[in-house]
Chain A
């Protein structure tokens, strides 16, 4: 048997020479023996191998077009078996490669391994570094999420800064003048075809030249000569596994790679940042023009690095090279640190980050909803989502007067900035905003001495219209039907209605009426047909009927309000369908209509009638106020996912 196998192997060897090849590959001599400092090249090759394998498998599930890229990546991340794991490995190995590249370069330069006759191999290494950076850059766009989209936009706009052919080059790269399908097909072909092929070719060349000149053994040699196999391979394998362990740590910690909301050219993404290893360049571009920061400075530095083998010939050249590399590295680290620090301390950036995280999480919930992703792509899910859009429209158009559970709808805006004017009294301001003077000064970062006209004060926001969280729900209406609440800033306290007939009407009630008023609240609330109250409304039919009777007979609400029956003489807002989609749409469109406040309307704009908001925008606000949007069932995958 053994003979037969040996014969077969010999037969194959006669025809291929594989044994000689293997021998040559394994029995490379290492003067001074195997050492840990020689591991970096192998770890890089290993990382690249991981990228090739995981990349091809991801390719099986990825679909490069602006309506399917995010969607297919979502599917990989959240639906496919082990998809998040594989994508996570691909994502974090890419970052590990950048770190390994730096370490490999440092080792080569410090050991002097770039000197003659290894100049060309050093250049091959520099080219490989560029290829790996290019792979990172092109890969960042492929998920077609907000992060990749906006960051890559900046990167490709830098291409336009190239002298003479910049704009044409940019057009060729992104497949036209606008980002779209062909940007993705091109980037994908570059990422999965062009760059890997070039990288493989240059790795072969790199290893060939490395073997041609032999390993550059670092003096002093600290042992006897050994072979590559098995001594150095053992060290390399341990190092590779250590790199792998570090990658897996991040993959599991972050449950794969991040995926922000689908790319939306209309939604300015202020949190746009490149991948961390490009942050130094990003930061540099804050100080210099694109031409200098992205082309001249990096270009000159790359040229000097390429000339290192010749500079190294001079007496102090080698030290200069090491010094330059250390300075560049420290400089990059410093720029990266400054960039991160600026973001950390920027209220604006943190706000944008929160906004993007909220949208990303919501996009993933909606993509996993039973309605699924339409063929127009997931970006339309977010654009039509009342939870995301309604809250933001409220913040923009309604929150200068109204509140939503004390905030502007997006969780912000609890504080407001006002100008301290000549003749203002800080005592009056403090009382009006329900704060002590010390609190105002602390929020405004002022001392008492600094307080003078022209300064900005940070104070509690004082609403001038009702808080609309839970609008038309039973608890909301029960609260409203109480004189104290009705005339408080939470409802109509800061409007003309605090002195209205209704206010006076409510003044006459006391605690003994609470039960009846609750019935009235239940009846009016049932008109709203709120989705989150449907079960309760169904169950309490009797209570609601009693409430209806009280509105018509007991409390004579219909003296002023129209309720269930048409009433041309009604002088107060219509209670028929109060809080329903149709009713809310109507009042936002035109509160001064006879059906609502009529002539008594106090400052509320006619958003629809005056074209301040489109029908679709009003509909989004209405659905949001009524909480009429998709909510995933408790404990569902969308909840558990990140």
Chain B
């Protein structure tokens, strides 16, 4: 009888010790992982800039032959600790028709972000993505829906009409989320 009671007491005592040992051990073990979480998720605080107006070229520098040409986009860029006053942040196709219209397309493929090529060879000039063979019309629309993987046409960018009148091409440069049917700005 007495022995049984003692045994139960020992078991209880061991149970309490087990509980505390497990609890405190777990706290110690989990602590460094918890302390790391803010730094791991730090990138979430970063927000992409909304579209910004960037001067691409003078209007004279864009031939009015309706052929798309690629132009770099230079702008200020903050990369973590560094601040660059003027670096290439992307590229656009500019196309100027004979009536003076200028249209701008982001070179980034709306499928998965490869840089789209302009191809003059073949029957008809077209935009073609070198990665997964998406094909686009010169206005950016999908050319071959059967073989094109991209869910939407190339991303058109706004061109400032007032600046055009003054002989300069300014584009509202912006990147959009890939692989979505709608054009959703990257934020």
Contact = CB atoms under 8 A, between A and B. Distances in A.
Nearest to A56: B36
B83 interface: yes
Interface of B is mostly: helix
Interface in B23-71: 24-25, 27-29, 31-33, 35-42, 45
Interface in A55-105: 57-58, 60-61, 68, 71-72, 74-76, 79-83, 85-86, 89
Nearest to B22: A230
Interface of A is mostly: helix
Contacts of B84: 375
Given A49-B32, A244-B31, A372-B82, A230 B39 contact: no
B28 to A, nearest CB: 4
Interface residues of A, number: 40
Interface of B: 14, 17-18, 20-22, 24-25, 27-29, 31-33, 35-42, 45, 78, 80-84
Contacts of B83: 371-374
B93 to A, nearest CB: 29
20 contacts: A46-B28, A50-B32, A53-B36, A54-B35, A61-B39, A61-B42, A79-B80, A79-B81, A83-B38, A83-B42, A86-B39, A89-B32, A229-B21, A230-B21, A231-B17, A233-B21, A234-B17, A367-B81, A371-B83, A372-B82
B15 to A, nearest CB: 9
Given A49-B32, A234-B17, A57 B80 contact: no
Interface in A339-389: 367, 371-375
B82 A81 contact: no
A71 B39 CA distance: 16
A241 interface: yes
B44 to A, nearest CB: 9
A81 B32 contact: no
Contact of B36 (A46, A57, A72, A367): A57
B42 A85 contact: no
A592 interface: no
Contacts of B14: 230
A240 interface: yes
Contacts of B20: 230, 234, 237
A631 interface: no
A371 B78 CA distance: 10
Contacts of B41: 81
Given A61-B42, A236-B25, 11 more contacts: A49-B32, A60-B39, A79-B81, A83-B39, A89-B35, A234-B21, A237-B21, A238-B24, A240-B28, A372-B78, A372-B82
B38 A75 contact: no
B42 A81 contact: yes
A265 to B, nearest CB: 21
Nearest to B45: A81
Nearest to A227: B14
Given A233-B25, A234-B21, A86 B35 contact: yes
B31 A373 contact: no
Contact of B39 (A46, A82, A375): A82
B81 A72 contact: yes
Contacts of A60: 39-40
A233 B81 CA distance: 44
Interface string A31-62: 00000000000000010011001100110110
B29 A49 contact: yes
Q: Which of B24, B29, B39, B84 counts the most chain A CB atoms within 10 A?
A: B39
A72 B79 CA distance: 11
Contacts of B35: 54, 82, 85-86, 89
Contacts of B28: 46, 237, 240-241, 244
Interface in A108-161: none
B42 A80 contact: yes
B32 A53 contact: yes
A374 B82 contact: yes
A373 B82 contact: yes
A53 B33 contact: yes
A465 B16 CA distance: 81
A54 B22 CA distance: 23
A240 B31 CA distance: 11
Contacts of B21: 229-231, 233-234, 237
Interface string A220-264: 000000000111011011101100100000000000000000000
A241 B24 contact: yes
Contacts of A375: 82, 84
Q: Which of B20, B22, B24, B28 counts the most chain A CB atoms within 10 A?
A: B28
B85 to A, nearest CB: 9
Contacts of A80: 38-39, 42
A46 B26 CA distance: 12
Contacts of B27: 237, 241
B39 A81 contact: yes
Nearest to A251: B35
B49 to A, nearest CB: 15
Given A54-B32, A81-B45, A373 B81 contact: yes
A86 B36 contact: yes
A608 to B, nearest CB: 30
B32 to A, nearest CB: 4
Nearest to B17: A230
A237 B80 contact: no
Nearest to A371: B83
Contacts of A236: 25
A363 to B, nearest CB: 12
Contacts of A46: 28
A513 B24 CA distance: 80
Contact of A85 (B18, B38, B40, B45): B38
B80 A75 contact: yes
A71 to B, nearest CB: 4
Lowest 7 A-B CB distances belong to which pairs?
Answer: A372-B83, A82-B38, A237-B24, A230-B21, A234-B21, A81-B38, A53-B32
A96 to B, nearest CB: 13
B7 to A, nearest CB: 14
A199 B45 CA distance: 36
Contacts of B80: 72, 75, 79
A474 to B, nearest CB: 36
Contacts of A229: 18, 21
Contacts of A373: 81-83
A58 B38 CA distance: 12
B39 A57 contact: yes
A237 B36 contact: no
B12 to A, nearest CB: 13
